[in-house]
């Protein structure tokens, strides 16, 4: 026994016990480079007999920002299929600087946590006091990434501006709003102004950031960079996938205002098959306005999700000529995509859109006019936005004058079904005003949220949002500590938002994921009923406690068979957090010639490091023999070079 209370062993002595020097609960994670995803899909759409209203039931207009000093402007929104969303925006700071903030929300538009300062005030790799062109995207698990352009302006103003010198920056966050690593520089091409930043992310966490830059041999170009944000920062970091690339294939003239569409689906990873799987990433699209064969217009290009290579040349989206600008784009699970833009052409002055079938740009009909604007696109400040649901339904929103005589700027919207048929005429979204530059997104159930700037938050312009949707069911995710004896309650909340005037019911049942029913948790099933006006109820699942070190495990609570309301998020994930430390193993040994085989019982969630020393003199160093992961049974490690008269061994847990 030494001063550290370790049991030291030699091949000549009986192996009695080895006490751990330190313990750290947890296990190893592995990852296949061809996009191994270990995740729990949290979305499944289920629709009962009630049809969604075209415009939905409008909720209250809510203030998004809590920081109210100066202008809050350029709202951007990201939303996943389950309806969890994040609003990000630019904020007027002090001393001529600008900041970037974000706020997370539950699907019912209630805030989730506090406002987040996105840009690091100490991160200054370049002269970047002005921060604009904010974008945000959210993956299936609620992790998100915010991008922005930072630099110095050539022409200033809140509405019309151009950067003189600027670069593209980004920041990752997990589903809890915790930053994953530091702010980082996106672009590698650094000549001229890099601006008009945009981002898209798929259900897994593979992301594409696009922007306007240079480098196609002519004027400005659309550039992009792919990323793998699927794993925590400590596992992969901010992993660049391949090199930065030029998006546009037509290189005469200039290109502007990109937007990115990525598939929100998480395919081939149903929890009833396996907790992890290897799949090919899905294709993505980038759209922009600029120059092309046949003149200026709106263009798109498809790219392979597997290798990032283009699937063909760019193709024209618009069919009418004249002034077209600022496209937005969204994709449904089946790969259909919709492009919207603003135009003043031979058809009229307003918002236009067009639907496409596949990665090759096969059109589903021609372009169509969504709305006629009261203010002219060329001379009046107008911005439009698009949100597409997983099922193909979509919403367009824009700002325009309230009346032909003028008045306030207001936010308007129009909803279309998956076949491109309008479900209603344009309708107002905002209350009061003036309001500008909306950003809209739609969840899988067809509910949508619109964020916009304007009004007065007590200082000047603030960021506001409003949810439109029918009463919809959601279940949350729960994490609990396992405990050492008896049971621990995992309490899930099922929310109906907004409240319904009808009685709503939904069935629920638990299911295995990495945790096993009966041994890890007690099965539960039944039916929940919401009386008219009720908005939440709870499901209790009893988790079995123990003292066995093991990996964190998960089980599911599935909602099904709804009546009088659709389900937007049907899977609640219960994560059982291991609270049992990894103890030092008891070693035994057998000797054959120069081979000394050490054996011990290794818990499945623990990692063990074995070391040896041929001298116990002061200052003698220990040499690593092997690091192994526990398998929930006997582990054998053989030292094939035990040639010294006395060799000492010790085991650590880590």
Instruction: Look at strands 472-475 and 567-569 and give their pairing.
Output: parallel
Alpha-carbon distance of 445 to 81, in angstroms, equals 8
Could you report the per-residue pLDDT of 249-267, keeping only the tens digit for each? Answer: 999 999 999 999 998 876 5
Phi, psi of 536 (to 5 degrees): -160, 155
- Rounded-to-integer distance, Cα 356 and Cα 365, Å: 8
Q: At a CB cut-off of 8 Å and minimum separation 6, what does 421 contact?
A: none
Query: How crowded is residue 641: how many other Cβ atoms within 10 Å of its Cβ?
Result: 12
What is the C-alpha to C-alpha distance for residues 349 and 375, in angstroms, rounded to an integer? 8
429, 413 in Cβ contact below 8 A?
yes
8 A C-beta contact, residue 620 and residue 64? no
- Give the pairing of strands 478-481 and 162-173: unpaired
Nearest Cα to 182, choosing from 103, 99, 118, 97? 118
SS3 57: strand
Q: Pairing relation of β-strands 184-185 and 162-173?
A: antiparallel
pLDDT at 637: 85
Residue 201 has pLDDT above 70, yes or no: yes
What pLDDT score was predicted for residue 124? Answer: 67
Rounded percentage of the chain residues whose pLDDT exceeds 90:
50
Q: Hey, is 235 helix, strand or coil?
A: helix
CA distance 326 to 220: 15
DSSP-derived 3-state class of residue 537: strand
For residue range 2-56, list pLDDT tens digits in order. Answer: 333 333 333 332 222 222 222 222 222 222 323 333 333 333 444 333 333 455 6
pLDDT recorded at residue 297:
95
- Distance between first and last Cα of the chain: 21
What pLDDT sits at residue 613?
Answer: 79
Q: Residues 622-653: pLDDT tens digits?
A: 888 888 877 666 888 888 887 666 677 777 77
Mean pLDDT over the full length of the chain: 83
Pick from 76, 81, 79, 120: nearest CA to 97? 120
pTM: 0.76
- Are the beta carbons of 595 and 29 closer than 8 angstroms? no
Q: Which of 77-81, 279-283, 402-406 has the lowest mean pLDDT?
A: 279-283
> Residue 272 pLDDT > 80, yes or no?
no
Alpha carbon separation from 313 to 246, 316, 331, 402, 411 (Å, rounded): 12, 10, 19, 41, 36
Per residue in 518-576, pLDDT (tens digit) is 999 999 999 999 999 999 999 999 999 887 766 678 899 999 999 999 888 888 889 88
Question: What percentage of the chain exceeds 70 in pLDDT?
Answer: 84
Structural domains of the chain ordered from first start: 1-25+581-654 (2.60.40), 36-45+474-577 (2.60.40.2030), 57-470 (2.120.10.10)
Residues 629, 609 contacting (CB under 8 angstroms): no
d(CA 353, CA 394): 11
- Count other Cβ atoms within 10 Å, centred on residue 422: 15
**Around Cβ 460, how many Cβ atoms within 10 Å?**
16
**Which has more pLDDT, 28 or 173?**
173
The DSSP 8-state label assigned to residue 582 in this structure reads P
- Residue pair 209/199 in contact by the 8 Å Cβ criterion: yes
**Residue 584: what pLDDT?**
66
Task: Please compute the mean of the pLDDT values over residues 307-322 and round it to a whole number.
Answer: 92
């Amino acid at each position: 026994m030494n001063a550290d209370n370790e049991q030291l062993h030699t091949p000549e002595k009986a192996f009695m016990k080895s006490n751990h020097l330190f313990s750290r609960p947890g296990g190893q994670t592995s990852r296949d480079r061809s996009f191994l995803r270990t995740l729990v899909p949290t979305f499944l759409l289920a629709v009962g007999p009630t049809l969604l209203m075209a415009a939905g039931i409008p909720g209250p207009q809510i203030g998004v920002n809590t920081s109210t000093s100066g202008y809050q402007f350029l709202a951007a929104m990201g939303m996943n299929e389950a309806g969890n969303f994040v609003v990000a925006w630019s904020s007027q700071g002090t001393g001529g600087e600008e900041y970037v903030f974000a706020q997370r929300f539950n699907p019912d538009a209630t805030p989730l946590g506090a406002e987040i300062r996105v840009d690091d005030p100490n991160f200054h790799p370049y002269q970047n006091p002005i921060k604009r062109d904010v974008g945000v995207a959210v993956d299936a698990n609620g992790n998100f990434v915010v991008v922005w352009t930072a630099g110095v302006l050539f022409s200033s103003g809140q509405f019309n501006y151009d950067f003189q010198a600027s670069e593209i920056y980004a920041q990752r966050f997990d589903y809890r709003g915790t930053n994953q690593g530091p702010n980082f520089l996106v672009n590698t091409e650094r000549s001229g102004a890099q601006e008009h930043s945009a981002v898209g992310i798929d259900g897994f966490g593979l992301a594409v950031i696009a922007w306007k830059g240079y480098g196609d041999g002519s004027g400005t170009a659309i550039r992009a960079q792919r990323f793998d944000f699927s794993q925590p920062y400590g596992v992969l970091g901010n992993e660049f996938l391949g090199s930065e690339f030029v998006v546009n294939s037509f290189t005469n003239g200039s290109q502007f205002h990109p937007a990115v569409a990525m598939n929100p689906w998480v395919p081939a990873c149903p929890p009833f098959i396996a907790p992890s799987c290897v799949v090919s990433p899905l294709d993505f699209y980038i759209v922009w306005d600029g120059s092309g064969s046949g003149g200026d217009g709106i263009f798109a290009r498809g790219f392979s999700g597997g290798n990032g290579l283009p699937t063909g040349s760019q193709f024209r989206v618009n069919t009418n000529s004249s002034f077209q600008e600022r496209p937005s784009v969204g994709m449904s699970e089946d790969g259909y995509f919709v492009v919207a833009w603003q135009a003043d052409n031979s058809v009229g002055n307003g918002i236009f859109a067009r639907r496409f079938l596949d990665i090759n740009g096969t059109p589903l009909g021609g372009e169509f006019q969504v709305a006629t604007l009261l203010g002219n696109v060329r001379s009046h400040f107008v911005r439009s936005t698009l949100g597409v649901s997983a099922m193909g339904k979509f919403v367009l929103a824009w700002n325009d004058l309230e009346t032909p005589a003028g008045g306030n700027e207001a936010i308007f919207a129009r909803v279309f079904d998956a076949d491109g048929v309008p479900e209603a005429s344009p309708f107002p979204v905002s209350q009061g005003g003036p309001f500008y530059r909306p950003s809209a997104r739609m969840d899988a159930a067809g509910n949508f949220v619109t964020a916009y700037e304007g009004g007065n938050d007590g200082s000047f312009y603030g960021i506001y949002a409003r949810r439109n949707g029918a009463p919809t069911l959601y279940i949350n995710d729960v994490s609990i500590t396992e405990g050492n004896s008896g049971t621990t309650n995992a309490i899930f909340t099922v929310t109906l938002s907004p409240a319904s005037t009808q009685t709503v019911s939904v069935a629920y049942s638990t299911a295995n994921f990495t945790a096993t029913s009966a041994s890890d948790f007690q099965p539960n099933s039944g039916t929940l009923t919401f009386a008219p006006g009720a908005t939440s109820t709870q499901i209790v699942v009893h988790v079995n406690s123990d003292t066995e070190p093991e990996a964190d495990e998960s089980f599911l609570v599935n909602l099904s068979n709804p009546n009088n309301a659709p389900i937007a998020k049907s899977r609640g994930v219960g994560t059982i957090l291991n609270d049992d430390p990894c103890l030092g193993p008891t070693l035994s040994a057998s000797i054959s010639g120069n081979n000394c085989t050490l054996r011990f019982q290794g818990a499945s969630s623990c990692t063990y490091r074995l070391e040896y020393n041929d001298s116990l003199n002061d200052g003698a160093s220990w040499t690593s023999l092997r690091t192994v992961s526990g398998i929930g049974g006997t582990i054998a490690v053989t030292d094939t070079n035990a040639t010294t008269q006395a060799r000492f061994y010790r085991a650590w847990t880590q």
